[in-house]
A and B are shown apart, each in its own frame.
Chain A
Amino acid sequence: MSVGATAPAAEGEAAPRSPLRALFIRELRIGRRIGGGGSLGVVFFLMLVVLTPFAVGPDLALLGRIAPSMLWIAALLATLLGLDRLFQSDHDDGSLDLLLMSKAPLELIVLVKCLAHWLVTGLPLVAAAPFFGLMLAMPAGQLWSVALSLMIGTPALTLIGAIGAALTVSLRRGGLLLPVLILPFCAPALIFGVAAAAAGAAVSPAPAAPPFLILAAISLLALVGAPIAAAAALRQMSE
């Protein structure tokens, strides 16, 4: 995670000044600095996973059975944690005005911001999931299918969440409204994500491929639809 470290000196002249590329670098830098909240999602994820056995009790078989669902719900909540600031921080400090005025299409700006946000907050969740699965006594064969399902599914969560972030951009208490707006729309990703994660279990009679494919379809749909919806919402809400 040392992407932007060498950038300041080297970039000035040689690189073509692409607005979207510059935005991507800026978002990564902000996300990795203190206050960016990049690592906070993983810590929150860890907290939820650690608390689960206390709530459920020390029944290893039961824990192992519900582990895919717990990991997915924890990942869903952790993804939503930082999303409310996705556009709001730009709105508050005035830089959203400049993004709206930019020649670059707002849809692509939204997409770049989501991509950077996912790399900083979503990808660490994916990387941490197998270890946290171990803590929930998950069968070894399932650890990778959980990570893979999160890898495919969390981009959809971030993208769908971006619509909510755009709708609540000018609201002071948008942080609470966002999950209420967004969680119902995350249900399909959750259903097929958990199905895909559980498919790795040896006992599961269902074939593994279909839930993965449907999950990928949901992510691709969000990839196309969400930036358009979020950009339209931003134009309306930020006036």
Chain B
Amino acid sequence: MMRISASRLTIERGGRTILRNLDFTVDAGEMLIVTGRNGAGKSTLLRALAGLVPLASGALALSPSSEESIAEQAHYIGHADALKNSLTAAENLEFFAALLDLGRGGLEPYAALDSLGLRHVADLPAAYLSAGQKRRAALARLLVARRPIWLLDEPTTALDTASQALILSVIAAHLLTGGLVVASTHARLDLPARELSLGAAA
């Protein structure tokens, strides 16, 4: 059973303490929803989990211990969709499939786009996609390479209700197979989850 445990995490950015002495654990099959007002440090926490922001103090541990770090086993969906405008949606995904693949399989780019309702725009340059379609194309990364940890920063931004339900079902399926999800959100995600409420920004 995989587990992420954070003990006394403190994160500073630009000389300002964003998060102080934060403790939490996430177990396999469990979703942790990070809430808090704007500037509370939700995105920073996710970036720290992804190894993109250094910890000022405290520790992040992954058990059972593995040669691969959390970052190397995690999907990170940030604010930005990480799509190249001049490449088609399928080409973007083809690249991410190769970049993120851990040898554990995953859907083909077209199949991943199909399951998120984007088959008809798969061969369009990403520049021509709407904001919601871009978001879904970014989320399709989750499907092209199988990774146990999902770090989702506002995953349902710009999505319509039908697409939100679709994403929730994808997340639910991932949890059923023993995945871990840490998601920050303002929207309500109708899935059983623990909540980590971040206090006011220091």
Contact = CB atoms under 8 A, between A and B. Distances in A.
A26 B91 contact: yes
Contact of B80 (A21, A22, A23, A93): A93
A22 B82 contact: no
Interface in B87-119: 87, 90-91, 94-101, 108-109
B50 A33 contact: no
Q: Which of A26, A34, A35, A99 has the most CB of B within 10 A?
A: A26
B76 interface: yes
Nearest to B96: A98
B82 A8 contact: no
> Size band of the B side of the interface?
20 to 34
Q: Which of B53, B78, B95 has the most CB of A within 10 A?
A: B95
Nearest to A13: B108
A101 B98 contact: no
Interface string A21-57: 1110110011001111000000000000000000000
A31 B48 CA distance: 32
Interface of B: 13, 47, 50-54, 68, 71-72, 74, 76, 78-87, 90-91, 94-101, 108-109
5 contacts: A8-B91, A17-B101, A21-B98, A26-B84, A104-B99
A59 interface: no
Contacts of B84: 26, 30, 89, 93, 95
A23 B79 contact: no
Contacts of B82: 93-95, 97-98
B101 A101 contact: no
Contacts of A103: 68, 72
A11 B110 CA distance: 13
Contact of B98 (A8, A17, A30, A93): A17
Given A19-B99, A101-B51, A102-B99, A26 B76 contact: no
B95 A94 contact: no
Nearest to A102: B99
Nearest to B86: A33
A29 B126 CA distance: 14
A100 B52 CA distance: 8
A238 B52 CA distance: 8
